[in-house]
């Protein structure tokens, strides 16, 4: 394995130890010019107080999240790993331009990045197939982890990831950033505090399910330094290279995608419904696919309805107001309901509740969700407390979505034991057909 830029001995030593050693010889050294950022002047924290972050996967989503993260004065992006040279170079340019330096290092193989002792945390923003495995490897290497979603390709991977975070004691943040955004927290508060009356149903928008495992035509595999195809595939089964895969056309392909695309939005919207139902520690018991939705039922009688949206970014009536924006969700109680989405607009059936929710912003600040969610992550790294989307929260909300996807794939009602996290029959025996979908074969050496 080789990195794009040589990592010097100082780069692999303790960050704080290196700073202390530098200070000790400072009096004998020739005069140097030290940036205001390194001294902690202006908005930036002193170098010894900053969290150092490495980025694993530098596609469009990572670019958005990193742009929000770099607005935090006490976090510094120091390295990027990506199997594609073009993305490595583009990411380095973004980071160096933001900080006014040339210090960001790049790697083809993320294992070299997580081996660095001077990196505190990582952002995992690869495609779905790598999220859990890279997060597990990073946690085992002593890094705190912020992972984009879906955080695990299967129920089994979500379980193993949560178990690893617990075993290693690392701080973990799932990238379901809406838990950090004010309009969502306000809507959830209305549901949790009884302001809507007793909860009856929760409505989560999802993409219309789709599954495919067709192969694109084989093309000549590029040199590994240009695109490391073997590393790009990761745990997924081998197939011939086609440039469209690495450009984003892996979505909807079963080998690469999580849960028939249901998890793409479901881990956001169903997660928020779990939160509104005070059900972070459990899952629904039943999952029933219908023509335009999957209806899930909790032990407390509340229904979670995963409503299909016919277009990837459209919102259709009468289920959701088209002005709510992407990822809309609705919480319905006996006396009132609340609905909101990414536009930050909040719809209420009872306008007397309006004073309890924030007003929608005409022009929401760019990157604010990523910045707020990353702020929670960094604060928890320092305090060693759980994040708002910790690994246990992720585990249950992701298992909920995976179970719903399995019911859609099999085309029948399923029952899930939320404690054992196993599909069961009506008399409590294992549902062997459904349980086969809890895991997938994983390609060596990452199995």
pLDDT digits (tens, 9 = 90+) for 313-370: 555 545 788 889 999 999 999 999 999 999 999 999 999 999 999 998 777 788 999 9
pLDDT digits (tens, 9 = 90+) for 27-37: 333 333 333 34
Higher pLDDT, 360 or 144: 144
pLDDT, residue 313, reads 54
Q: Are 271 and 397 in contact (CB under 8 A)?
A: yes
Output the CA torsion 391→393→398→403 (10° steps): 130
Q: Are 341 and 364 in contact (CB under 8 A)?
A: no
Same domain, 83 and 188: no
Same domain, 88 and 195: no
Residue 16, in any domain of the structure: yes
pLDDT, residue 97, reads 98
Domain that holds residue 109: 9-178
Same domain, 352 and 368: yes
Residue with token string 């742009």: 67
Same domain, 64 and 155: yes
**Distance separating alpha carbons of residues 143 and 55, to the nearest angstrom:** 12
Residue 244, in any domain of the structure: no
Q: Are 403 and 189 in contact (CB under 8 A)?
A: no
Q: Are 174 and 388 in contact (CB under 8 A)?
A: no
Task: Judge whether residue 6 has pLDDT over 80.
Answer: no
Confidence of residue 254 (pLDDT cuts 50, 70, 90): very high
pLDDT digits (tens, 9 = 90+) for 173-230: 999 999 999 999 999 999 999 999 999 999 999 989 999 999 999 999 999 999 999 9
pLDDT, residue 315, reads 54
Q: Are 255 and 127 in contact (CB under 8 A)?
A: no
pTM, to two decimals: 0.89
Task: Judge whether residue 12 has pLDDT over 50.
Answer: no
Percent of the chain clearing pLDDT 90 (strictly above): 82
pLDDT, residue 231, reads 98
The CATH number for 88's domain is: 3.40.50.720
Residue 306, in any domain of the structure: yes
Strands (E) in 131-170, as ranges, are 144-147
pLDDT digits (tens, 9 = 90+) for 18-68: 333 333 333 333 333 333 344 344 466 777 789 999 999 999 999 999 999
Residue 237, in any domain of the structure: no
Same domain, 163 and 267: no
Q: Calculate helix-pair angle for 155-168, 391-410, nearest 10 degrees.
A: 170
pLDDT, residue 310, reads 67
Same domain, 138 and 185: no
Q: In the structure encoding, which two tokens stand for residue 266, read together?
A: 């479901």
């Amino acid at each position: 394995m080789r990195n794009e830029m040589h990592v010097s001995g100082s780069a692999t030593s303790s960050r704080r130890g290196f700073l202390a050693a530098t200070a000790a010889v400072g009096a004998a050294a020739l005069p140097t010019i030290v940036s205001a950022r390194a001294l902690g002047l202006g908005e930036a924290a002193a170098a010894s107080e900053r969290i150092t972050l490495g980025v694993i996967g530098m596609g469009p989503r990572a670019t958005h999240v990193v742009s929000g993260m770099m607005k935090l004065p006490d976090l510094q992006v120091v390295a990027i790993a990506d199997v594609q040279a073009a993305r490595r170079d583009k990411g380095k340019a973004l980071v160096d331009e933001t900080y006014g330096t040339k210090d960001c290092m790049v790697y083809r193989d993320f294992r070299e990045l997580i081996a660095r002792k001077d990196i505190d945390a990582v952002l995992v923003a690869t495609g779905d197939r790598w999220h859990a495995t890279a997060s597990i490897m990073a946690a085992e290497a002593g890094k705190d982890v912020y992972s984009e979603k879906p955080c695990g390709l299967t129920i089994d991977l979500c379980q193993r990831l949560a178990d690893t975070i617990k075993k290693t004691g690392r701080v973990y943040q799932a990238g379901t950033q809406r838990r950090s955004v004010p309009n969502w927290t306000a809507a959830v508060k209305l549901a949790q505090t009884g302001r809507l009356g007793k909860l009856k149903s929760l409505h989560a928008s999802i993409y219309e399910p789709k599954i495919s495992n067709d192969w694109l035509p084989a093309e000549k595999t590029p040199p590994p330094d240009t695109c490391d195809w073997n590393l790009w595939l990761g745990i997924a089964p081998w197939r011939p290279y086609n440039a469209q895969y690495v450009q984003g056309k892996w979505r909807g392909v079963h080998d690469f995608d999580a849960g028939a695309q249901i998890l793409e939005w479901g881990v956001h919207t169903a997660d928020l419904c779990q939160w509104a139902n005070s059900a972070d520690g459990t899952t629904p018991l039943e999952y029933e696919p219908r023509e335009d939705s999957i209806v899930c039922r909790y032990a407390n009688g509340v229904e979670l309805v995963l409503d299909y949206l016919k277009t990837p970014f459209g919102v259709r009536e009468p289920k959701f107001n088209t002005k709510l924006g992407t990822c809309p969700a609705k919480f319905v109680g006996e006396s009132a309901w609340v609905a909101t989405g990414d536009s930050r607009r909040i719809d209420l059936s009872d306008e007397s509740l309006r004073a309890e929710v924030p007003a929608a912003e005409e022009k929401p600040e760019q990157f604010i969700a990523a910045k707020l969610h990353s702020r929670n992550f960094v604060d928890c790294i320092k305090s060693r407390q759980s994040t708002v989307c910790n690994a246990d929260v992720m585990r249950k909300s992701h298992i909920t979505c995976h179970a719903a996807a399995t019911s859609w794939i099999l085309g029948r009602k399923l029952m899930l034991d939320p404690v054992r996290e196993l599909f069961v029959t009506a008399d409590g025996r294992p549902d062997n057909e459904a349980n086969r979908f809890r895991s997938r074969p994983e390609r060596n050496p990452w199995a």
